Structure 1
Amino acid sequence: MSIWDEIKESFKEGTTLTKLIYVNIGVFVVIKLLQLILLLVGYAPSSIQLLVSWLSVPSDPMSLLFKPWTLFSYMFLHYDFFHVLFNVLYLYWFGRLFTQLIDDRKILTIYIWGGLGGAAIYILSFNLLPAFHSVGGEAILLGASASVMAILFAVARVRPNFTVYLFLVGPVKLKYLALIAFIIDLISIPGMNNAGGHLAHIGGALIGLYYGWKLSEGKITGGFFDKAASRTGDLFKKRSRMRVTHSRPMTDMEYNAHKVKRQKELDKILEKIKNSGYESLSKEEKKTLFNASKDEN
């Protein structure tokens, strides 16, 4: 099997987090290859900036009306090597925590909503705050940072006291890690070198905080992007060759007994949430609660 076939197989069989990482790296590689081709055929190195601008969120609302796709494309777009490197590393670290402590099926939702929240704060800031009036509509936003911040803050809200071990630092609770990241972005805004980017990070963090709060209350059972991710993943799954057998339908007595048993399990889970909070649930209990909420819908 060739390297390309191995990459395709890894993408097909990978989790949603794996696919997000591959897409971010893939877009970066394509941009750089196009830049190389343009340079070799005689175009100026800055020619690629037209494509980057075409995929980035503009600060000017009128420009955004003609490029609405940038609200989504920008969160997968990177131009500098260290920008994509650190964003992919943070996406991997925080994404692993999210998938392990919450749910792999929801990571696409928080990634997209975090990116949209970051873009919203960015556009509003550049058009409403006097400090950015001199920039006008010439600024652009790109990168996965707002989405990554949303993932960090969502998992920190659901499991605030979960401890991670940082190199040269030691054990740190997630709530403090998120708070430090927020403060760094806040105090970096006056530098103005990447003020729009730091504002977008804050927008992503606020979305993540809200999403994590709703998750803790059990009020999020799967949104549009969750379902889209599941359907996309199903397209890449190999179909099983096993023969499907059909069992006989349950009798009324068996059905009622099953329903009573399931209701008792739900009552027990809800009582546990009331006494100890959502984060005290086991993975199986969360799955049971999630399936029950889908049936009600």
Structure 2
Amino acid sequence: MRPLGINIFDRIKNFFLQKNALSRLMLINIVIWLICLFISVFTWLFNVSDISFVTKLFAVPADISSLTDKPWSIFTYMFLQEEFWHLFFNMLMLYYGGQIFLQYFTQKQLLLTYIFGGLFGALFFIMSFNIFPVFENMRDSAVALGASASVLSILIAAATYQPEYKLNLFLLGEVKMKWIAIIFVVIDLLSIPKGNSGGHIAHLGGALWGFLYAFMLRKDFDIYMIFKRQPRIKVKSRNTDNHHQRPKTDEQYNAERAQEQQEIDKILDKIAKNGYSSLSEKEKEYLFKQSKK
């Protein structure tokens, strides 16, 4: 019997060696966090700057003019985690939420839900900070980062599609997915005035996309089908060479017909004398083609 620690290590290693969307998304988030961690060590040692320049470059800003200077941030922010526990809980939720999601959906749907959930989260964050007066004084400096909106989108999509799915939670026993989803949404909604307002608003944007996507699927409409590669249809015109041929004169046509008839008569004479089996394959094929004219 192998030690428990080795077994867990092997399971983690085998999971990340899988070539699927869930393991790749988690791996990307972890690797980016590690890169940022190493950068922070070197910037501290050389006393040149701090890790905040990474945040300024890749976190999505609430200010629209700043967003136009770095439009890529609307994508990059959803892979950027600030602290270890931020990363840990997001990846934990992504793993378990992703496992449930993949029981009903494909790897491609998981990837697209992650991305669109993140985009909806960023959209909610930006719109809220530019609409509500309470955020006016902090708009210029506010940024959002983290995978939470994307992760919650996956979790809410699974809960909307299969609301009666039961999870066995520690100390709580069996709990239906719909109650877990409702609790997450309510907590984020009530937490907006308590701090990290932008983060909670982004979470709600991601949750909304997850709900909308699963709701559309229950109505037999998959919006992701617009990303499906359509087969290329090749149109081959018939007898294209004929368009470039000069029309035949009556003399040419009659001469060709006479030659063909002469060849047919020759083959028919051979059949009359020696039977059909005496014909070569070429003669049989020629006779067959002429009979189709």
Report matched runs for 1:223-238 at 5 Å.
223=225
CA distance in 1, matches of 2:165, 2:149: 22
Cα distance, 1:51–1:221 mapped onto 2, change above 3 Å: closer
Is residue 63 of structure 1 aligned with residue 66 of structure 2? yes
SS at match of 1:134: helix
Alignment of 1:273-284 (within 5 A): none
Change beyond 3 A, Cα 1:107–1:64: same
The CA distance in 2 between the partners of 1:9 and 1:37, in whole Å, is: 32
With over 3 angstroms needed to count, the CA separation of the structure-2 counterparts of 1:113 and 1:225, relative to structure 1, is: farther
User: Identity of aligned pairs, percent?
Assistant: 40
Q: Name the residue aligned to 1:117.
A: 120
In structure 2, the CA distance between the partners of 1:122 and 1:226, relative to structure 1 (3 Å rule), is: farther
Q: Counterparts of 2:148 and 2:175 in 1: how far apart (Å)?
A: 21
Question: Does residue 1:146 correspond to 2:149, yes or no?
Answer: yes
Kindly tell me the number of residue pairs found equivalent between the two proteins. 218
1:100 and 2:111 aligned: no
For 2:38, the aligned partner's letter is L
Give the superposition deviation at 1:103.
2.2
- TM-score (normalised: structure 1): 0.70
Q: 19, 31, 37: which one pairs with 1:32? A: 37
Q: Distance in 1 between matches of 2:111 and 2:204?
A: 19
Give 2:81's aligned residue.
Answer: 78
Q: Structure 1: which 5+ runs fail to align?
A: 1-6, 228-297
What do residues 229-258 of structure 1 show as CA deviations (whole Å, max 9, x unaligned)?
xxxxxxxxxxxxxxxxxxxxxxxxxxxxxx
Q: Does 1:199 align with 2:201?
A: yes
Distance 1:126 1:207 in 2: 19
Measured against aligned partners, the alpha-carbon deviations of 1:253-279 in whole angstroms (never above 9, x if no partner) come to xxxxxxxxxxxxxxxxxxxxxxxxxxx
Deviation of residue 48 (structure 1)? Answer: 1.4
Quickly say closer, same or farther: Cα 1:181–1:144, change in 2 above 3 A. Answer: same
Q: Matched residues in 2 for 1:213 and 1:55: separation?
A: 32
Match of 2:216 among 196, 208, 214: 214
Match status 1:166 vs 2:169:
yes
Q: 2:63 matched to 1:53?
A: no
Per-residue CA deviation, residues 148-202 of structure 1 (Å, 9 max, x unaligned), is: 11101111111011111111111111111100000000110111x2011000000
Matched AA of 2:217: L
Aligned partner of 1:22 in structure 2 is 27
Instruction: Quote the Cα distance in structure 1 between the aligned partners of 2:226 and 2:51.
Output: 33
Higher relative contact order (CA 8 A, sep 6+): 1
Structure 2 length-normalised TM? 0.71
Query: For 1:30 and 1:194, how far apart are their aligned partners in 2?
Result: 25
Q: In structure 2, the residue corresponding to 1:171 is in which secondary structure?
A: strand
Name whichever of 133-142 and 34-43 sits farther off.
34-43
Partner of 1:126: 129
Distance between the aligned counterparts of 1:195 and 1:168, measured in 2?
Answer: 30
Counterpart contact for 1:109–1:226, Cα < 8 Å: no
Give the 3-state SS of the residue equivalent to 1:14 in structure 2: coil
Whole-Å separation in 2 of the counterparts to 1:134 and 1:148: 29
**Unaligned ranges ≥5, structure 2:** 1-11, 230-293
